[in-house]
Copies of this chain bind each other. A is one copy, B any other.
């Protein structure tokens, strides 16, 4: 089978040079830097391939002079099968900041090649993934003069800062984006070179709690009289979870569904290198001494209440005896399917009120529901078969532990979203020396071609 697939004649040289071209544009969304420039370059790339491409904007951008980065929209209609299925590739052209710069061995925006590896910010996340998809379409147009199904692209510029405008784009340009299947922006390939086909993302509710004491930090001899806001925050937080990490807010788990037997079987069969993971993060055990299936279930199914930040008073060396005037906690709750961020926020508000913490101010910073495609969705099998043809094997995962705007796609487009791609699991995304493996970029390009072909010939 693999010899057959190797005959899929893709343009590896073009793949590398296109990826280098994109890496060289430092499109760091956290700094609102070079975003439109990068989007325009992608439009040009698409046009050269034969993809109809344009930049989409949100109206309020022009009005408010707030710079919302454009979305790249690309489209190729199938000449032979214009009323057939439509596949939408979701990707992003923005990247994480390159800091800390001194830990890079090569320039983060250079695209240096070293053997099988190409280094640079975005090499894997997500410029490398995008290029494999562009090259797959190029393959069809160059070799067959047509695509067997309709293809669309949505490439956004705010993924690394929370995709705050994606739902507005999806609403405004709904007709353009309509599709039968969405291929998600990335997919991991594990140590044994098996692609992980992931069917979901967790949701997120991010809040900030603040407590106010005296109008300024005061000498702590007055702690007998003046309420300490750090104690208020500590006391409030301690009512929110028990010692096992179980969230104690009323009805928090009310809508959470158990896994089906079939889902359970899939979770069980997923490989997970516990020792490798512990070594990577310098820990000797998991929370609650989780092991085996418990670890994998937690990553997929467990809602969390995590303290991302905690701050009050003096944090320098030695002693300073003050009763602080302010205390702050940043909390992120990961959500699983059926949990509504707005409802969970209300429950948190009620919890604090009912426990006597009316004085604590709660600010909602971000809310995003979990998205998940059903295991028995018919596209899952087609994609898995395609991946197996190219990689020999693959892994199905019910959900990633991370968060992305998958819910918006599923909810607004009513289409399944499936995550598959070419990001090697240790390719240091978000970190210094991010790289992509050229062999995996090639294989992934072939995998995308396979997926498109197989969708066209399947009775979906």
Contacts and interface: CB of A to CB of B under 8 A. Distances in A.
Interface of A: 162, 202, 204, 206, 213-216, 218-228, 230-231, 233-235, 237-238, 241, 243, 245, 277, 281-283, 286-287, 290, 295, 298-299, 302, 304, 306-315, 318-324, 327-328, 330, 332, 334, 356, 365-366, 400-403, 430
A54 to B, nearest CB: 31
B283 A214 contact: yes
Give the number of times this chain occurs in the complex, counting copies.
2
A319 B332 contact: yes
A223 B220 CA distance: 34
8 tightest Cβ-Cβ pairs between the two chains A and B: A215-B282, A238-B238, A230-B307, A223-B306, A221-B401, A311-B315, A309-B314, A224-B298
Contacts of A403: 221, 321
A218 B223 CA distance: 35
Q: Main SS of the interface on chain A?
A: mixed
A308 B282 contact: no
Given A234-B237, A308-B324, A402 B219 contact: yes
13 contacts: A213-B283, A215-B283, A219-B402, A221-B403, A224-B302, A224-B401, A226-B286, A231-B245, A243-B356, A308-B319, A309-B313, A310-B311, A310-B315
A401 to B, nearest CB: 4
A308 B323 contact: yes
Contacts of A235: 238, 243
Nearest to A207: B319
A405 to B, nearest CB: 14
Given A202-B221, A319-B332, 20 more contacts: A206-B321, A213-B283, A214-B281, A220-B306, A222-B281, A223-B332, A224-B287, A227-B287, A231-B241, A234-B238, A234-B307, A243-B356, A309-B313, A309-B320, A310-B310, A310-B311, A310-B312, A310-B327, A314-B330, A315-B330
Contacts of A283: 213-215, 226-227
A299 B204 contact: no
B322 A308 contact: yes
A327 B306 CA distance: 13
A321 B96 CA distance: 13
A403 B222 CA distance: 11
Contacts of A307: 228, 230-231, 234, 312-313, 324
Nearest to A402: B221
A27 to B, nearest CB: 19
Given A238-B235, A283-B214, A299 B228 contact: no
B226 A287 contact: yes
A332 B241 CA distance: 26
A341 to B, nearest CB: 13
A307 B219 CA distance: 12
A319 B365 contact: yes
A304 to B, nearest CB: 5
A225 B295 contact: yes
A414 to B, nearest CB: 27
Nearest to A307: B230
A286 B215 CA distance: 14
A281 B218 CA distance: 8
A223 B219 CA distance: 36
Nearest to A303: B224
Contacts of A322: 308
Contacts of A314: 308-309, 330
Given A224-B299, A332-B321, A308 B304 contact: no
Contacts of A221: 202, 299, 334, 400-403
A327 to B, nearest CB: 7
A267 to B, nearest CB: 13
B225 A299 contact: yes
Nearest to A314: B309
